[in-house]
Amino acid sequence: MPADNDGAQLMRIGAAAEVIGVSVDTLRRWDRDGRVATERRGGRRFLPVSEVARLRQERGVPPRSSARNVLDGTVLRVTKDGVMAQVELACGPYRIVSLMSREAADELDLRIGAHARAVIKATTVVVESG
């Protein structure tokens, strides 16, 4: 990924379009209309990575994740104390329990009956019993 003279990272317009979820033609049109500012180098258009991030957020594109285990579910129970929260989800036949900060649970507005998604990323899970 090239950097411009100010040190900003640039993406080729094709890669930027894919990440944003639009066509290359759409980005070219946005450039003509002044909605985005591309930089031309050697006949190719580039977009600053910061601009790509802004467009993703503006369009509501969810963040990408390397996690492969994603389960949609419903909140069954939320238990909070001063610092932590325990959230129980029903995800199909599975019961998923997550521990997180109370602040995170509040920001996510987790409450009984709400839709939620469990994103599970673990390399090792060890459970032992006496």
- pLDDT (tens, 9 = 90+) of the chain, 130 residues, equals 555 545 469 999 999 999 888 999 999 999 999 999 889 998 899 999 999 988 888 888 777 777 778 889 999 999 999 999 999 999 999 999 999 999 999 999 999 999 999 988 877 777 778 7
What region does 71 belong to: left with phi over 0, alpha with psi -120 to 50, or beta? beta
Span between the terminal Cα atoms of the chain, in Å: 53
CATH code of domain 69-120:
2.40.50.100
Q: Please give the sequence-ordered ranges of beta strands (E in DSSP) within the chain, or none if there are none.
A: 10-12, 39-41, 44-48, 69-80, 84-91, 94-101, 115-120
| 3 state SS of 6 | coil
Distance, CA of 117 to CA of 28 (rounded, Å): 35
pLDDT in the model for residue 69: 84
